[in-house]
Structure 1
Amino acid sequence: MAALLACGSEKSISERIALAEVAHYLESNPVYETADIEYGEVKFAQKSDAEALASYENLEKGGYVTLELLKERKRFLSKDSTFVYLIKLTDKSIPFVLEKTDKKATVKTFEYTLDDAGGAHIEQTGKNRAKATVTLTKKETDFADFAKKGADNNASFTKKTYSLRFNGELGWEVTK
């Protein structure tokens, strides 16, 4: 009987049950932001790509990539130089890499976790259905430098609404 109560065997939903179900759902369906990074032979201009090169150097310090200078070319009568680096992803970067092609990798820049303290706003939409709006806090990864700069990066959290449905055998569960 205790197991049924923990799963939410009642058709009325509480904030505690909604948060537990959303947390369970997020374990297999994490929320994150991504960006593409280049690897392999990558060319950098000293001035215009200085920020990108600094981001790669930070990843190298963290052990996520290795950088090997292949070519350095000074332009005649110019203050700008070009560099070609061989960039390799290390095993430490595996948890952050979602997709990989020959020259680019899609990596997690920010991960979102459920803010239990923020609670949940619950709206019962029917006898067996409800919507729970929860707060997800934003945590940056070591790849955050590659995130697109914009309006999305002005908050350290996001609000997300999940649909829940009551199942007679399992109790409440997230459907989306």
Structure 2
Amino acid sequence: MVPFYYRYTPLLFIAFLWGACGHEKSISDRIALGEIAHYIEANPVYETAEMDYGELKFSQRSDSDLLVAYERLEKGGYVTLERLKERKRFLSKDSTFVYLVKLTDKSIPFVLEKTDKKATVKTFEYTLDEEGGVLVEQTGKSRVKATVTLRKAETDFADFAKKDPDNNASFTKKTYSLRFNGDAGWEVIK
């Protein structure tokens, strides 16, 4: 007759492994980063600004930076500039220009909203820095908070962003909430 503990040794070993490895609700840094990367792909993180288009008037002196920004966009193929009028002010070094600014098809990925005279454009886009790691904090049995680093990248429309003297970083930290779903596994709920 086989002793009792020999018959159940394989079952005890499997139970020990299951307990030692944790259960399916445990989350690793790799899983958290993967879920956040998938979420960011579907829900991109970016900064925006408003940009005028249509018939625009520029003063040579006070609007020179803005005119340069539009000229850069024209060189990149995002807008077309057509000079309609030029007026030199009498006894002044300042001139006034009227341009017709049109958005091209190349600008479509950067334009989020558009009215008759204004467009909301992406100025900065953020991407997940997977090498920066993730800080995972368990907040419940099936919930965690994961903090990651997002790298900031300029778009060609960055000249239209409002200058913020307090924003001197090339990255940001963002916290995402994840929840364990019995059918789908871990997913971002924020």
Q: TM-score, normalised by structure 1?
A: 0.93
User: Structure 1: any 5+ residue segments left out of the alignment?
Assistant: 1-8
1:159 aligns with 2:173: yes
1:76 is matched with 90
**% same residue:** 80
1:94 is matched with 108
The alignment partner of 1:142 has SS state of coil
What is the alpha-carbon distance in structure 1 between the residues aligned to residue 99 and residue 167 of structure 2? Answer: 29
* Cα distance per residue 1:39-79 (max 9 Å; x no partner): 00000000110000000000000000000000101111111
The alignment partner of 1:151 has SS state of coil
The alignment partner of 1:37 has SS state of strand
2:141 is matched with 127
Q: Return the match for 1:115 from 129, 134, 138.
A: 129
What is the alpha-carbon distance in structure 1 between the residues aligned to residue 48 and residue 99 of structure 2? Answer: 23
**Structure exhibiting the larger radius of gyration computed from Cα positions:** 2
Q: How big is the shift at 1:153?
A: 3.6
1:50 is matched with 64
- The letter for the 2-side match of 1:119 is G
The alignment partner of 1:23 has SS state of helix
What is the alpha-carbon distance in structure 2 between the residues aligned to residue 46 and residue 10 of structure 1? Answer: 65
Q: Return the match for 2:38 from 24, 31, 34.
A: 24
- The letter for the 1-side match of 2:42 is S
What is the alpha-carbon distance in structure 2 between the residues aligned to residue 89 and residue 153 of structure 1? Answer: 29
What is the alpha-carbon distance in structure 1 between the residues aligned to residue 82 and residue 40 of structure 2? Answer: 38
RMSD: 0.9
Q: How big is the shift at 1:12?
A: 1.1
Q: How big is the shift at 1:152?
A: 5.3
Q: How big is the shift at 1:114?
A: 0.3
User: Structure 2: any 5+ residue segments left out of the alignment?
Assistant: 1-22
- The letter for the 1-side match of 2:156 is D
1:6 is matched with none
Q: TM-score, normalised by structure 2?
A: 0.87
- The letter for the 2-side match of 1:116 is E
Alpha carbons of structure 1 residues 57 and 94: separation in structure 2 relative to 1, 3 Å: same
Runs of 4+ in structure 1 over 3 Å off:
none
Q: How big is the shift at 1:13?
A: 1.0
- The letter for the 2-side match of 1:46 is Q
Higher relative contact order (CA 8 A, sep 6+): 1
- The letter for the 1-side match of 2:72 is N
What is the alpha-carbon distance in structure 2 between the residues aligned to residue 154 and residue 56 of structure 1? Answer: 24
The alignment partner of 1:69 has SS state of strand
